[in-house]
Amino acid sequence: MTDAQRLGEILRQQRERKGITLEQAAEDTRIREKFISALESGDHQALPGAVYTKGFLRNYADYLDLDSTDLVALYTAERVATPEPPRRFEPMRPVMRSGVFISPAILVPVVVLAAVVLFVGYLSYQFASFATPPRIEVLEPAGDTIAQRGEYTVRGRTVPEGRVTVRVFPGPETFPDIRPAADGTFAVTVQLRPGPNHIEVQVLDPAGKVSQVSRAVRLEVAAQATPPTGAELPPQVVVEQPAHSGTYTNSAVPVAGRVERGITSLLVTSSCSSSGATPLAVAADGRFSGSINCPAGTHGIRFVARTASGAESTETRTVAVSFTSAVVIVNVQGGDAWLLVQVDGAPAAGTGRVLANGATQTFTGKQIVIRTGNAGATQVIYNGQLVGKLGDTGQVVEKIYTFQ
């Protein structure tokens, strides 16, 4: 077995073991499908230069939870073992035309020069295609500025296939994996601290290249007027997640943030379900976190914080949710349940045994098959929609969920 075959088989077997298609891998990693196929088949002629191929291989190995260092070494060994065949130039017969004689001594240098020109042009194309860092433009703030409110929205534009990360110092507070819209625009709401703040906006493209832009924003909070006697300022609620116009694929929508000034309740409502307001637990330091399961589509999420005297503050967010696979969340409630789950024909880890009351597991694939020995204690959420219990207590039930 050659190194190329070993490398390709390692990548392909790990991808198939995870139940990931080539199309899904290309979409998740932002690496062209033809490059992934070439890596798995050992077709080095279809790959770009070695530097860029190693970058693709590192990203793809990390995506498949493989050791990228070992795989890059394996790829390098294969290239050394199978060098490209040397280029040969065959002498040509002299061309006699109109009394002009072109000898090999003239023709061969011309051909060599043409080959050199083509090679230099190829290198220039490779540099322009793969070595140029991704474009990124921060639209708001357009430059260093002063803000009057702690909640600040950073907006910008970059390559649509890039992944944006925003960091705010001091802290730092990090907002990772922001997916730009089709036109490359993105937005995220951050929380500034009084005084100077440093904001870093970074984009990573599918080839592994990075660009970064920084802004300095100083928060100067205007003094608040003294409220009338007996009046109370409304509680402040800061929503860190979800981001304004955030997009979420194959996952629940995370909610997180903090509240100030003592509150008695924090509720969240959304268009994801008709179950009404859901209370969120607030820690002693004022922070809260959780998640909301939403079906595919655009949804509004509203946070309402109230004090004992009835003072109220609200914050709203709009998010977009999509699914490219079947995502099944299994909650065991009301008793223990034996559970066996198959994902794309393979047994899922952690199943084939009795799960205790309160256990939760999530499964993602093109087809999910669930078999439970206690349907009354097995509750399912499929692609953000509550299915509910699979049957009666003690009933053995099998359900199949296929993504169309």
- Residue ranges of the domains in the chain? 3-81, 95-131, 133-220, 233-322, 326-402
- Class of domain 3-81 as given by CATH: mainly alpha
Tokens 């507070």 found at: 173
**Any idea what DSSP says for residue 127?**
I
Which pLDDT score is estimated for 86? 52
Which pLDDT score is estimated for 357? 93
- Class of domain 233-322 as given by CATH: mainly beta
> How far apart, in whole angstroms, are the C-alpha atoms of residue 350 and residue 374?
17
- Which residue numbers in the chain have pLDDT < 50? 1-4, 87, 89, 95, 98, 223-225
The CA-CA-CA angle for residues 374, 380, 386, to 5°, reads 140
Which pLDDT score is estimated for 269? 85
**Any idea what DSSP says for residue 282?**
-
Which pLDDT score is estimated for 89? 46
Domains 3-81 and 233-322 belong to one CATH topology: no
Please write the tens of the pLDDT for every residue from 79-104.
Answer: 776 655 554 545 555 545 545 556 77
Q: Are strands 312-322 and 297-306 parallel, antiparallel or unpaired?
A: antiparallel
CATH fold for the domain made of 133-220 = Immunoglobulin-like (2.60.40)
Which pLDDT score is estimated for 3? 46
| Strands laid side by side in the 326-332 sheet | 360-365, 326-332, 378-382, 385-389
**Any idea what DSSP says for residue 177?**
E
My answer on whether omega of the bond before 134 falls inside 30° of 0, hence cis, is no
Whether the Cβ atoms of residue 174 and residue 167 lie closer than 8 Å to each other: yes
